[in-house]
Structure 1
Amino acid sequence: MLENVYLFSSGRTLRETVLESSPVLALLNQSFISSWSLVKELENMQADKQNPVLSEKAQLHLEKYNFPVEMMVALPNGTIVHHINANFFLDQTAMKPEEEGATFSFSGGFEDPSTSTYISFLKEGLEKAKEYLAQ
């Protein structure tokens, strides 16, 4: 397992949809350490001068955070290799695949566009992590 997927804030919509999907859970279990962090917890970690390593990691995550929920793929050292705001993600998955401006591909054999898109997000994060680790 190379990375962590961090989901900040409540993320209720994500928990009740893509994070209940068997294909998503299988990919998360295979390649990720999946966790949630509240912004307040990260702010407390960042302020902790007793643990500078944890403080730096919390700072890296807070720098990429955008309200209300940010999905992140991070290396164990805290480097964020891929991230997307949940509102943007949900807006994109609400679009029909043929609509102009759709950022993501809806292919992959899944009926639910949000599941397919989330799996694409995770796989892209894995590919980006490989690029960082090859350096």
Structure 2
Amino acid sequence: MHQALQVAEVCSGSGRTLRETVLESSPILALLNESFISSWSLVKELEELQSNRENEFYSKLADLHLEKYNFPVEMIICLPNGTVIHHINANYFLDITSMKPEDVESSIFSFSTNFEDPSTATYLQFLKEGLQRAKPYLQT
């Protein structure tokens, strides 16, 4: 793809758990480096940007991210113009990664047998789904 997508983690606190697990995985880091601009934003920072009417572009980007945010952490994939094309809340993410393998087939995400850690496989699937959803927008 010629344009990078943004993957952002929006949180009200440190988000340490996510950073210490899936965001330390080599396959995840490779995909992020290849196709995404990765960022981490605090809700407070986005609210400040949102209220700054001197820069309408950043204010609108903050609006788009905060519109999708749910406590405690929201993982968001968006186009270069800020349009959110995929997102998942960390609580839901943790719920589906703790499912028993036999319950996974009915889930939105499925685990890959290539990973020992279901959260890494699920996050990788989240990123790949975002890339798929972005294809129609990024065709040149």
Aligned to 1:112: 117
Q: Quote the offset at 1:102 in angstroms.
A: 3.4
SS in 2 for 1:30: helix
The reply to whether residue 35 of structure 1 matches residue 39 of structure 2 is yes
- Tell me the CA shift for residue 108 of structure 1: 4.9
TM-score w.r.t. the length of structure 1 is 0.94
- The separation in 2 between residues aligned to 1:134 and 1:29, in whole angstroms, is 20
- The alignment status of 1:4 with 2:6, answered yes or no, reads yes
What is the alpha-carbon distance in structure 2 between the residues aligned to residue 17 and residue 124 of structure 1? Answer: 20
- In 2, Cα distance between the equivalents of 1:75 and 1:51? 19
Aligned sequence identity (%) = 67
What number of residue pairs does the alignment pair up? Answer: 135
Residues 37-76 of structure 1 mapped to structure 2, 5 A cutoff: 37-76=41-80
Quick one: distance in 1 between partners of 2:113 and 2:51? 42
Distance between the aligned counterparts of 1:21 and 1:128, measured in 2? 23
Runs of 4+ residues over 6 Å off in structure 1: none
Q: Map Cα deviations across residues 4-34 of structure 1 (whole Å, 9 max, x no partner).
A: 1110122211111100111111111111110
**Cα offset, 1:76, TM superposition:** 1.2
| Unaligned runs of at least 5 residues, structure 1 | none
- Rounded Cα–Cα distance in structure 2 between residues aligned with 1:29 and 1:2: 10
TM-score, normalised by the number of residues in structure 2: 0.90
Q: How far off is 1:109 after superposition?
A: 1.0
Secondary structure in 2 matching 1:98: helix
Structure 2 unpaired stretches of 5+: none
C-alpha distance 122-5 of structure 1, shift in aligned 2 (>3 A): same
* Aligned with residue 16 of structure 1, among 13, 20, 26: 20
